[in-house]
């Protein structure tokens, strides 16, 4: 039997290996680089402005990582379901693409941190209506750099109900009960049964970004409306604004609230110049026989939270009252030991708060030392 040379056998083996490795399988079509449409579009409306927010896509429809994006079309239509964007009402430029991670979790590639994009559409006055059944449909379409997209995002319906204008004449007055706000009612005299209007009072403390709702007032039919904010802290500055909320309340459907525009902010310094309540129930009792002369005073305690104490005043007939205490009295009682037997004394009491505001004096009582 004839044997093949060793070099020939090695060449045949290498050829077989190369032939096996050169079989890559069927060719794959090139990626169209179409961004995957967002599925989390959400909207908020205030007055005529609709703010749309969505997550920037980081992968294409064929699961490739996106390196560059084109603009995002803002789509609005009157039909319940949009089949295409048509003429967009605006475009949003993508500011950044999230960095994707190559880490695999349960066999799936992680998409990294999500970054939201937002855009605002101003509803034209001509499409706003008083009909609670009128809506606009919003969607977005994210395009690639060649301005091609894979279709619309999820769609969101937004009410086209007309909102009340913001009160132009908000005023404030600081009182002992708090800050009293007043404004002119802008609600129509006769509204549809399915429409309600409520004014919402908003407050922000100077230097803070946090806005809190301190109260709501139904519009009703009164020409002038008011609200007292009794939750203030004295000696602080607040900024107030009011907006009117239109409530669509149709039978068998969930309520829809559409807030209107904010009134201009009104700055208020809550300066406490208001004295505590006048003490009441003052009584005077003189010492008994055989005791050193004195007169004990008692009165009903003042329950105001900022009370600092009391002052006691005394005088004799046809004389001016004189304050007896050098420091504020912190309990509703006082013993006057500077009296003389046979004399009649007249007493009154005032209350003082922590800012030094003093009430007028109480009704006088008199007592004669035996």
Neighbours of 105 (CB within 10 A): 8
71-88 b/e (C-beta count within 10 Å ≥ 16 → b): bbbbbbbeeeebeebeeb
User: What would the two tokens of residue 194 be?
Assistant: 């399915």
Smallest Cα–Cα separation from 201: which of 265, 139, 258?
265
User: What would the two tokens of residue 184 be?
Assistant: 């002119």
Domain 283-368 has CATH 2.60.40.10: yes
pLDDT of residue 7: 47
pLDDT of residue 23: 56
CATH number of the domain at 42-159, please? 2.60.40
Give the DSSP per-residue string, 64-112: PBP-----EEEEEESSSS-SS--S-SEEE-----PPPP--EETTEE---
Domain boundaries 171-269, CATH class: mainly beta
Domain boundaries, the chain: 42-159, 171-269, 283-368
Instruction: Profile the chain (370 residues) by mean pLDDT over runs of 10 residues.
Output: 46 46 58 91 98 96 92 96 95 71 39 82 96 97 95 98 96 97 93 92 97 96 96 97 96 94 97 96 92 96 95 97 98 97 97 97 96
Rg (CA), the chain: 39
pLDDT of residue 9: 43
Residue with tokens 């045949």: 12
pLDDT of residue 98: 57
Do 171-269 and 283-368 show the same overall fold? yes
Smallest Cα–Cα separation from 34: which of 62, 2, 15, 54?
62
Q: Are 75 and 138 in contact (CB under 8 A)?
A: yes
């Amino acid at each position: 039997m004839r044997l093949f040379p060793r070099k020939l056998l090695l060449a045949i083996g290498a050829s077989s290996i190369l032939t096996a490795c050169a079989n890559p399988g069927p060719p794959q079509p090139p990626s169209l680089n179409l961004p995957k449409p967002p599925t989390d579009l959400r909207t908020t409306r205030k007055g005529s402005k609709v703010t749309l927010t969505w997550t920037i896509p980081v992968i294409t429809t064929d699961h490739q990582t996106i390196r560059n994006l084109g603009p995002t079309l803002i789509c609005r239509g009157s039909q319940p379901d949009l089949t295409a964007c048509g003429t967009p009402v605006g475009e949003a430029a993508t500011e950044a693409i999230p960095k994707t991670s190559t880490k695999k979790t349960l066999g799936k590639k992680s998409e990294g941190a999500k970054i939201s994009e937002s855009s605002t559409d101003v509803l034209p006055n001509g499409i706003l209506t008083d009909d609670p059944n009128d809506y606009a449909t919003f969607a977005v379409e994210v395009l690639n750099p060649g301005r091609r997209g894979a279709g619309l995002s999820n769609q969101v319906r937004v009410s086209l109900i007309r909102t009340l204008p913001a009160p132009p004449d908000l005023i404030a007055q600081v009182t002992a009960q708090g800050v009293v706000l007043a404004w002119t009612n802008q609600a129509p005299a006769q509204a549809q049964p399915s429409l309600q209007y409520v004014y919402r009072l908003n407050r922000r403390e100077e230097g803070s970004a946090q806005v809190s709702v301190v109260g709501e007032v139904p519009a009703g039919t009164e020409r002038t409306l008011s609200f007292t904010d009794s939750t203030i802290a004295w000696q602080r500055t607040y900024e107030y604004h009011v907006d009117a909320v239109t409530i669509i309340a149709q039978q068998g459907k969930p309520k829809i609230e559409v807030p209107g525009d904010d009134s201009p902010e009104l700055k208020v310094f809550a300066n406490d110049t208001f004295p505590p309540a006048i003490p009441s129930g003052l009584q005077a009792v003189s010492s008994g026989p055989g005791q050193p002369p004195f007169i004990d005073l008692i009165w009903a305690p003042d329950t105001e939270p900022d009370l600092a104490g009391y002052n006691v005043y005394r005088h004799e007939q046809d004389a001016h009252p004189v304050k007896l205490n050098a420091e504020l009295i912190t309990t509703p009682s006082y013993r006057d030991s500077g009296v003389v037997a046979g004399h009649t004394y007249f007493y009154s009491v005032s209350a003082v708060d922590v800012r030094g505001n003093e009430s007028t004096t109480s009704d006088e009582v008199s007592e004669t030392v035996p």
